[in-house]
Structure 1
Amino acid sequence: MTRPAKPANIQKPAARPTANRPAAKPAKLNRPAGKPKPAARVDNRPKKPSGLGNVDRGKATKVSSNRGHKSMGGGQRGGGGHKQIKRGGGGRGR
């Protein structure tokens, strides 16, 4: 089945007339895009943070340092550790 040939004298519609719009965009304005919203809580970080990092009590630092031990090590409440590959075992029973 062949397609009908396109007539050669079809004219494209003229450009759509412009509505009441400005011809060009106005110059770039320096203004905020929206109203600034407050955060969930006030940011009270110090202006000059300590060179020693997060200075805290010794016990609190130790607790945060040992935090991964619970999840990574084995034992009663620890994580799974590394998966061991089991390769059968035992021989032929004779």
Structure 2
Amino acid sequence: MTSPPNTPDPTTPGSASADPKSSSAPGPPWILLDRTTAEQAAAVLDRLEEWPAGAEQAATEACAHACSHGQADAFEVAAWGGTLAAHLRDRIEEVDSWS
């Protein structure tokens, strides 16, 4: 994935970043989401984790193939969803601790 034109690469030396001593917040680039959006995304990812148990096998295999470019089965893709949901909820709790 490439940055849009005229957007500095935040991973290169000399790029703008927040002073780590001034705040516990991460440096740019930031993606701002409200709590509702973050919680809804986590709920969707939780459902993805539960999905292989209740869907028909052909559908789960096709979706897993599409999500992973053929690199993983449905249960591995579901595990990604669960892991991402957990990280998102951890991040929500971390942000809550800032205030």
Q: Normalising by structure 1, what TM-score? A: 0.24
Q: Which has the higher helix share?
A: 2
Q: Normalising by structure 2, what TM-score? A: 0.23
Structure of greater Rg: 1
Structure of greater relative contact order (alpha carbons < 8 Å, 6+ residues apart): 2
